[in-house]
Chain A
Amino acid sequence: MGSIRLVNLRKEFAGGVVAVENTNLIIEEGEFVVFVGPSGCGKTTTLRMIAGLEEPTSGQIYIGDRLVNDLEPGQRDIGMVFQNLALFPHMTVADNIGFGPRMQKMEPKERRRRVADAARMVHIEPLLLKLPGQLSGGEAQRVAVARTLITEPRVFLLDEPLSNLDAKLRKEMRAEIDRLHQNLKKTFIYVTHDQEEAMTLADRIIVMRYGRIEQVGNPLDIYHNPVNWFVADFFGSPSMNLLKGEFRWELGAASFRAGELCVPLSGPVPKREGAATLGIRPEHIDIHLERVPRDGDLRARVALVEPLGKDTLLYLEYGDSKNLIAIVEGHHYVQAGSWVGYSFRRDRIYFFGPDERRLLPEEAPSGTP
């Protein structure tokens, strides 16, 4: 019904630019799916192909069981919220919302009733007679949403709807969208470059880069089991610490060296040498201020302290102007310039090979002793 299926979808623009590589994907009905990735990764292009605003170079798109490649956007039973809202500037809010029904030649009385309903759903009844130019960002947002709600589509497409809003509004509207999805139980396809939005809203996240899907999974899965360096780095704020270094095998013991840092690893298998990248999230670095340094503890000079109120960021030097960022709860009155002891949470160390791919347990020694 409201499921989406992409089969071998590909989009190439004039000039040889491949926006979307051969993509296959199934989105279940009622899912909230978020396409996330940096600018130019193909997420918006994919969304627009689903909407029918771009024609695929090859491949098929199914909405429900219908092949929609040859259908115009208006025939696909979809609703879309654009990044810059795309409200009709010369029409009142009421006319904007009622546009869809008006095009379907709905009876005026019925249309007015539906407009009122839609307005109520997003709490904008007092604004019905205003023009878009007279609305604030949040209000205009809601009008755009109401305009899609009224047509009762099976699938909702949202193209970075919150990027033009300020931070506080963004959080409010995010919650609204979430609530909407809970109530409507329809399929939502959402595009953003903000990983936080993806994490909070999605049932499933689709990470894209350079036109390819890097990873698909639910938020926690993506966060804790990134399939490569790029996905690991993209999610999490502050982002994962990534240390370039190499595996060493000395005297029967494995370790990882990066700059002045040396992390002892468990052995003896698998034995591995060579360049790699170690990844450790800021929240998985334990700072030991009170206790006596233990075996296995690392020491570093604190380069910078950034108090955030609830948490504090500590920048730990581990090499030539190379810093590890650790995040600790509360404020610990650490001075920049002083030395602290710290350690990595052993089961939270990731390794990435030279090809950016995350190394599986059988490929590299783990951090767990």
Chain B
Amino acid sequence: MTRQTRRQLSAVARHAVLSLWLIVTVFPIYWMVATAFKLPEQWLAWPPVWFPSPPTLENFAQVWVGTSVVSSGDQVLPPISLEPLHGLRNSVVIAGTATLLSVAFGLLLAYGVSRYQILSERRMFNLLMLRMMPPIVIAIPLVLWYSTLHLLDTWVGMIVVYTIFTLPYSVWMTKSFIDEVPVELEQAAQILGASKLRAFAIIVVPLIRSGVVATCLFILILTWSEYLLGLVMTAAEAQTLPVQLSKFEGTQEGRQFGLQSALSIGVTIPLIVIGLLIHKHLVRGFSFGMIRRR
């Protein structure tokens, strides 16, 4: 067998294996999307309906706009007063703000650690591992503490918690990017008259742009999809989408799969879109100091 043949065969094998995992990966997503377009009688049908025909937008209208009424069989289901747009707004504000704050503080700290060693290596690892504590472990006293501070069910309260909890990640990730920029560049800028801060802003920040983007996305994923703390620390005012989704489920009699899917898509689509847009930046930044770039 020639090398060329061998090479072609392994390419085929590779595609086969990857395609297999591709199906496993994409199928659940496909199902969710397909179900969101199904009429109620198709939700629980056996054998299951693989392709909704005719496709309908009723589910989306019901869940997101609250206008139309969905009928299941001959029973008209009551309209669901859910105000997911309320939840959407909360999610955007809370997750967005927390992400920005976390990354900003993280950058500041990372700069300090990288250039001035304000924290030792060991402390840095301690910090990371601190984050690895299951949040549920301090959820109870946190709730009590918050109720004392009147921060329960507020935007500020959630933003503060999310910022603190994601800080270790953002510090670690941005630090690895700053480390890659030779300190000589800032020194050269300083010799030419720039202040430390200016040198950092004009020289370092542009160079670590893609890394900061990747970090932002990662923190955004964490804060947007956070569930437990949101569940126990919010009620009607500051409830985020993931919590709303579970509340929706809780109030349902029987499985409203179509509506659930329509809601779910809305909850998770922003992350998927953003993630796909910046997927090229993702490979960097997830190394936590364990990868040496050549």
Decide whether A and B assemble into one complex. yes
**A residues lining the B interface (CB < 8 Å):** 55, 69-70, 72
Complex contacts, A72 vs chain B, CB 8 Å? 3
- Which one, B1, B3, B7, contacts A69 given CB within 8 A? B3
Query: In the complex the two chains form, what is the Cα distance from A70 to B2 in whole Å?
Result: 5
Complex contacts, A70 vs chain B, CB 8 Å? 1-3
Can you list 9 residue pairs at the A/B interface with Cβ under 8 Å? A55-B3, A55-B4, A55-B7, A69-B2, A69-B3, A70-B1, A70-B2, A70-B3, A72-B3
Closest to B6 in A: A70
Q: Interface code B1-33, partner A: CB below 8 Å = 1, 0 otherwise?
A: 111100100000000000000000000000000
List 9 tightest A-B contacts by C-beta distance, closest first: A70-B2, A70-B3, A55-B3, A69-B3, A55-B4, A69-B2, A70-B1, A72-B3, A55-B7
Complex contacts, A55 vs chain B, CB 8 Å? 3-4, 7
Complex contacts, B7 vs chain A, CB 8 Å? 55
Closest to B5 in A: A70
- Main secondary structure, interface of B, reads helix
Query: In the complex the two chains form, what is the Cα distance from A70 to B4 in whole Å?
Result: 8
Query: In the complex the two chains form, what is the Cα distance from A70 to B1 in whole Å?
Result: 8
- 6 further A-B contacts with Cβ under 8 Å, apart from A55-B7, A70-B1, A70-B2, are A55-B3, A55-B4, A69-B2, A69-B3, A70-B3, A72-B3
Query: In the complex the two chains form, what is the Cα distance from A70 to B6 in whole Å?
Result: 10
Complex contacts, B1 vs chain A, CB 8 Å? 70
Closest to A72 in B: B3
Interchain nearest-CB distance for A151 vs B (Å) = 22
Query: In the complex the two chains form, what is the Cα distance from A69 to B1 in whole Å?
Result: 11
Query: In the complex the two chains form, what is the Cα distance from A331 to B3 in whole Å?
Result: 62
Closest to B294 in A: A84
Complex contacts, B4 vs chain A, CB 8 Å? 55
Name which of B1, B2, B3, B7 has the most chain A CB atoms within 10 A of its CB: B3
Query: In the complex the two chains form, what is the Cα distance from A69 to B4 in whole Å?
Result: 10
- Main secondary structure, interface of A, reads loop
Query: In the complex the two chains form, what is the Cα distance from A69 to B3 in whole Å?
Result: 8
Complex contacts, B2 vs chain A, CB 8 Å? 69-70
Interchain nearest-CB distance for A284 vs B (Å) = 46
Query: In the complex the two chains form, what is the Cα distance from A266 to B7 in whole Å?
Result: 63
Q: Interface code B158-195, partner A: CB below 8 Å = 1, 0 otherwise?
A: 00000000000000000000000000000000000000
Interchain nearest-CB distance for B291 vs A (Å) = 14
Query: In the complex the two chains form, what is the Cα distance from A140 to B2 in whole Å?
Result: 36
Query: In the complex the two chains form, what is the Cα distance from A22 to B7 in whole Å?
Result: 24
Query: In the complex the two chains form, what is the Cα distance from A69 to B7 in whole Å?
Result: 13
Query: In the complex the two chains form, what is the Cα distance from A120 to B3 in whole Å?
Result: 38
Query: In the complex the two chains form, what is the Cα distance from A72 to B7 in whole Å?
Result: 12
From residue 66 to 87 of chain B, which have CB atoms closer than 8 A to chain A? none
Closest to A55 in B: B3
Complex contacts, B3 vs chain A, CB 8 Å? 55, 69-70, 72
Interchain nearest-CB distance for A354 vs B (Å) = 43
Query: In the complex the two chains form, what is the Cα distance from A269 to B125 in whole Å?
Result: 85
Complex contacts, A69 vs chain B, CB 8 Å? 2-3
Query: In the complex the two chains form, what is the Cα distance from A55 to B2 in whole Å?
Result: 11
Query: In the complex the two chains form, what is the Cα distance from A72 to B4 in whole Å?
Result: 12
Interchain nearest-CB distance for A9 vs B (Å) = 15
Query: In the complex the two chains form, what is the Cα distance from A69 to B6 in whole Å?
Result: 13
Query: In the complex the two chains form, what is the Cα distance from A55 to B7 in whole Å?
Result: 11
Interchain nearest-CB distance for B8 vs A (Å) = 12
Query: In the complex the two chains form, what is the Cα distance from A69 to B2 in whole Å?
Result: 8
Query: In the complex the two chains form, what is the Cα distance from A300 to B1 in whole Å?
Result: 69
Name which of A69, A70, A72 has the most chain B CB atoms within 10 A of its CB: A70
Interchain nearest-CB distance for A14 vs B (Å) = 14
Closest to B4 in A: A55
Interchain nearest-CB distance for B98 vs A (Å) = 40
Interchain nearest-CB distance for A60 vs B (Å) = 12
Interchain nearest-CB distance for B290 vs A (Å) = 14
Interchain nearest-CB distance for B81 vs A (Å) = 59
Closest to A89 in B: B292
Query: In the complex the two chains form, what is the Cα distance from A235 to B14 in whole Å?
Result: 49
Closest to A52 in B: B3
Query: In the complex the two chains form, what is the Cα distance from A44 to B184 in whole Å?
Result: 33
Query: In the complex the two chains form, what is the Cα distance from A162 to B194 in whole Å?
Result: 41
Interchain nearest-CB distance for B3 vs A (Å) = 5
Closest to B2 in A: A70
Query: In the complex the two chains form, what is the Cα distance from A58 to B2 in whole Å?
Result: 13
Query: In the complex the two chains form, what is the Cα distance from A72 to B1 in whole Å?
Result: 12
